[in-house]
């Protein structure tokens, strides 16, 4: 390691630069997770629906999108995003790169969250549904006031774990020109030619955030979680957290 | 026909597809080796080895793969390690090692779970029969973990195939890179990315079905 390259990191201006990137990263991750929770819930309910014309498209969306690389979706929306919305917003509409990134990240994350939510719903004991139906609640009422409140509580740790994955994945949107943490770092090291130092700092910042989040999600226990649900959710997590 | 553009540029798409497959295989092999070694470290009776293993897993799981790839590609040459830059072979090798390092951390957690799942009585019995610790690992503890560990390892394999797309950021001409090249030449983004997506799905969907079938079969066997 070259000791003479470190003093520049004492300057507050450099840290201001990193901080700007960090703000974009966190903002991207939060918007993505919020959007994906809503879309994911819809697809999870769609997959559990008894109507075939709702169920089959939902299964197709979830399975196909989960099996695609996130970077492919991000690059696709980065290039093609504006053209997709031009029929709606007029011919000179330009999709801001930030929203192209959110779109790519959310498409993937919503499919993953749909699977997590479905695993939470399916793992609840059948007696819950049966009792609610026997009391005269409709299917929609059963879902809304009996099943979902319990299932969503089960999933809070899994959703938090997914947030760490999303934060890691935001490092990919630099490729379409969003200035998040890694991209800010790249700007610095192309200027000063010090990738070792910059990448170590960037990695440390990601590590601190993701490590504390994943520890918190592991500690978080919201009531009783059935063992089957925990295993199922962990399995999904394994496949999609590495991505 | 969706994805038909792949046959207009077969040289680009199918060569790149083959690179993706090779990168997945080499990445998975190195991930398995690294993961098994780290897992054995994490359950070893020597405390410093356990700490190193834990630090490895936490560090590589909680930083983005792209940052690790950039470090291999740009950082290491500056501090004297030149095995991952300059020529295509070198960059490919660097990417494969990067895949192995990142996914190795996930493999380590899975294998460690399998190792801890082996009945303690078996380990004690093997030790009291006079097997040394490495012999016990080799003949008693490791063989029993392989069965339970295969479905989760399959899930990591699927993630790895998808993550090979990140190698395009350091210049490995794999599938996504090929799609980007074709897009920049023809401006047919829709078709180019559809072709790449279909080729990725042709790897990940069969893998996913295989993993699900295995999982179900093992549930029945239990």
Q: What pLDDT, in 10s, does the model give residues B164-213?
A: 999 999 989 999 999 999 999 998 888 999 999 999 999 999 999 999 89
Number of other CB atoms surrounding residue A133 within 10 Å: 14
The predicted pLDDT at position A13 comes to 85
The predicted pLDDT at position B166 comes to 95
The CATH number linked to B56 is: 1.10.3720.10
Closest CA to B98 of B122, B79, B74, B116: B74
The predicted pLDDT at position A59 comes to 94
**What would the DSSP string read from start to end of chain A?**
--GGGSGGGGSHHHHHHHHHHHHHHHHHHHHHHHHHHHHHHHHHHHHH-S-HHHHHHHHHHHHHHHTS-HHHHHHHHHHHHHHHHHHHH-TT----HHHHHHHHHHHHHHHHHHHHHHHHHHTS-HHHHHHHHHTT--HHHHIIIIIHHHHHHHHHHHHHHHHHHHHHHGGGGGGGT---HHHHHHHHHHHH--HHHHHHHHHHHHHHHHHHHHHHHHH---S---HHHHHHHHHHHHHHH--
Q: Give the contacts of A33 (CB within 8 A, at least 6 positions apart).
A: A109, A159, A162, A163, A166
The predicted pLDDT at position B100 comes to 95
- Chain B interface disruption, residue of A72, A183, A205, A206, most B CBs within 10 A: A72
The span from the CA of A109 to the CA of A202, in Å, is 23
Question: In chain B, which residues have their Cβ closer than 8 Å to the Cβ of A70?
Answer: 162
DSSP single-letter state for residue A169:
H
Question: For residue B5, what pLDDT band results from cuts at 50, 70 and 90?
Answer: confident
The predicted pLDDT at position A2 comes to 62
B85 inside 8 A of chain A by CB: no
Instruction: Taking the CA atoms of A49, A51, A56 and A58 in sequence, report the sign of the dihedral they define.
Output: negative
Joined together, the tokens standing for residue A213 give 């989040």
- pTM here is 0.91
- For B118-175, how does the pLDDT look when each residue is reduced to its tens digit (9 = 90+)? 888 888 999 899 999 889 988 888 888 887 888 889 999 999 999 999 999 998 999 9
Question: What fold characterizes domain A10-241?
Answer: MetI-like fold (1.10.3720)
Low-confidence ranges of chain A (pLDDT < 70): 1-4, 221-243
A172 inside 8 A of chain B by CB: yes
The predicted pLDDT at position A7 comes to 79
The span from the CA of A237 to the CA of B182, in Å, is 34
The span from the CA of B212 to the CA of B209, in Å, is 5
The predicted pLDDT at position A124 comes to 80
B218 inside 8 A of chain A by CB: no
The span from the CA of A154 to the CA of A148, in Å, is 10
For chain A, how big is the Rg over CA atoms in Å? 21
Tell me which residues of chain B, numbers 164 to 183, contact chain A at a CB-CB cutoff of 8 Å.
164-166, 168-169, 176, 179-180, 183
Contact, A28 vs A98, CB < 8 A? yes
* pLDDT above 90 as % of chain B: 58
For chain B, how big is the Rg over CA atoms in Å? 20
The span from the CA of B121 to the CA of A185, in Å, is 52
The reply to whether residue B193 touches residue A235, judged by beta carbons under 8 angstroms, is: no
Closest CA to A229 of A156, A180, A171: A156
Average pLDDT in chain B: 90
Is A1 exposed, middle or buried, given 0-12, 13-18 or 19+ CB atoms closer than 10 A? exposed
Joined together, the tokens standing for residue B11 give 């040289």
The span from the CA of B126 to the CA of B111, in Å, is 20
Residue with tokens 């994911």: A40
- Chain A interface disruption, residue of B20, B75, B95, B200, most A CBs within 10 A: B75
Number of other CB atoms surrounding residue A19 within 10 Å: 14
Q: How far is CA B216 from CA A28, B151, B221, in A?
A: 37, 10, 9
Our CA-based measurement puts residue A114 at a distance from the nearest CA of chain B, in whole angstroms, of: 17
Contact, A34 vs A156, CB < 8 A? no
Joined together, the tokens standing for residue A110 give 């919503």
Contact, B170 vs B91, CB < 8 A? yes
Contact, A204 vs A220, CB < 8 A? no
Q: How many structural domains is chain B composed of?
A: 1
The predicted pLDDT at position B62 comes to 93
**Residue contacts between A and B (CB atoms, under 8 Å):** 133
- For B38-50, how does the pLDDT look when each residue is reduced to its tens digit (9 = 90+)? 999 999 989 999 9
> Which range among A52-56, B58-62, B103-107, B132-136 shows the weakest confidence by mean pLDDT?
B132-136
Is A140 exposed, middle or buried, given 0-12, 13-18 or 19+ CB atoms closer than 10 A? exposed
Range of the domain at B65: 5-221
B44 inside 8 A of chain A by CB: no
B204 inside 8 A of chain A by CB: yes
Helices A12-48 and A148-169, packing angle to 10 deg: 140
Question: In chain B, which residues have their Cβ closer than 8 Å to the Cβ of A200?
Answer: 71, 75
């Amino acid at each position: 390691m070259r000791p003479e390259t470190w003093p520049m990191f004492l300057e507050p201006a450099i840290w201001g630069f990193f901080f700007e990137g960090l703000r974009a990263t966190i903002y991207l991750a939060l918007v993505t997770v919020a959007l994906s929770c809503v879309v994911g819930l819809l697809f999870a309910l769609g997959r559990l629906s008894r109507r075939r014309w709702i169920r089959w498209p939902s299964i197709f969306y979830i399975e196909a999108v989960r099996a695609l690389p996130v970077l492919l979706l991000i690059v696709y929306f980065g290039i093609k995003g504006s053209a997709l919305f031009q029929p709606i917003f007029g011919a000179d509409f330009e999709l801001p790169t930030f929203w192209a990134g959110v779109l790519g990240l959310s498409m993937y994350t919503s499919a993953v969250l749909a699977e997590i939510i479905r695993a939470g719903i399916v793992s609840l004991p059948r007696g819950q549904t049966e009792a609610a139906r026997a009391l005269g609640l409709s299917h929609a009422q059963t879902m809304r006031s009996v099943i979902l409140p319990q299932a969503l509580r089960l999933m809070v740790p899994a959703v938090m774990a997914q947030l760490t994955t999303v934060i890691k994945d935001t490092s990919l949107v630099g490729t379409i020109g969003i200035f998040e943490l890694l991209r800010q770092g790249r700007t610095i090291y192309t200027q000063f030619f010090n990738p070792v130092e910059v990448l170590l700092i960037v990695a440390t910042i990601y590590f601190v955030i993701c490590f504390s989040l994943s520890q918190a999600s592991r500690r978080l226990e919201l009531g009783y979680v059935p063992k089957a649900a925990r295993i199922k959710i962990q399995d999904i997590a394994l496949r999609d957290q590495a991505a | 026909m969706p994805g038909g553009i792949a046959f207009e540029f077969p040289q680009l798409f199918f060569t790149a597809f083959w690179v993706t497959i090779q990168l997945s295989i080499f990445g998975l092999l190195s991930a398995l080796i690294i993961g098994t070694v780290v897992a054995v470290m994490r359950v070893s009776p020597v405390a410093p080895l356990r700490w190193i293993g834990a630090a490895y897993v936490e560090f590589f799981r909680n930083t983005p793969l792209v940052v690790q790839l950039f470090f291999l590609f740009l950082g290491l040459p500056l501090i004297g390690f030149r095995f991952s830059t300059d020529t295509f072979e070198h960059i490919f090798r660097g990417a494969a090692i990067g895949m192995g390092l990142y996914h190795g951390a996930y493999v380590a957690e899975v294998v460690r779970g399998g190792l801890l799942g082996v009945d303690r009585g078996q380990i004690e019995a093997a030790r009291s029969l006079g097997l040394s610790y490495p012999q016990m690992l080799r003949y008693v503890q490791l063989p029993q973990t392989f069965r339970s560990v295969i479905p989760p390892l399959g899930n990591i394999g699927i993630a790895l195939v998808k993550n090979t797309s990140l190698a395009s950021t350091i210049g490995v001409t794999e599938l996504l890179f090929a799609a980007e090249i074709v897009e920049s030449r023809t401006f047919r983004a829709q078709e180019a990315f559809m072709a790449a997506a279909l080729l990725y799905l042709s790897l990940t969907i069969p893998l996913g079905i295989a993993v699900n079938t295995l999982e179900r079969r093992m549930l029945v066997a239990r």
